[in-house]
C-alpha cells in the first residue's frame, strides 16, 4: 500500500523499476 501511494505520487516509473529489479541489481 505504501509503495502504491508513492507510485501514484511520483508517476509509477521510479518504484515500478525498483519493484522489478532483482536484489542483486539494487
C-alpha 26/C-alpha 20 separation (Å) is 10
C-alpha 6/C-alpha 23 separation (Å) is 20
On whether the CB atoms of residues 15 and 1 are closer than 8 A, the answer is: no
Total number of residues shown for the chain: 26
In this structure, what C-alpha cell is assigned to residue 4? 502504491
Q: What predicted TM-score, i.e. pTM, was given to this entire model?
A: 0.23
- For 1-26, the pLDDT digits (tens) are 777 776 676 665 666 777 777 767 55
Q: Tell me, what's the pLDDT at 5?
A: 77
Q: Tell me, what's the pLDDT at 15?
A: 66
Q: Tell me, what's the pLDDT at 24?
A: 76
Amino acid at each position: 500500500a505504501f509503495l502504491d501511494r508513492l507510485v501514484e505520487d511520483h508517476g509509477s516509473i521510479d518504484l515500478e523499476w525498483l519493484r522489478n529489479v532483482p536484489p542483486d541489481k539494487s
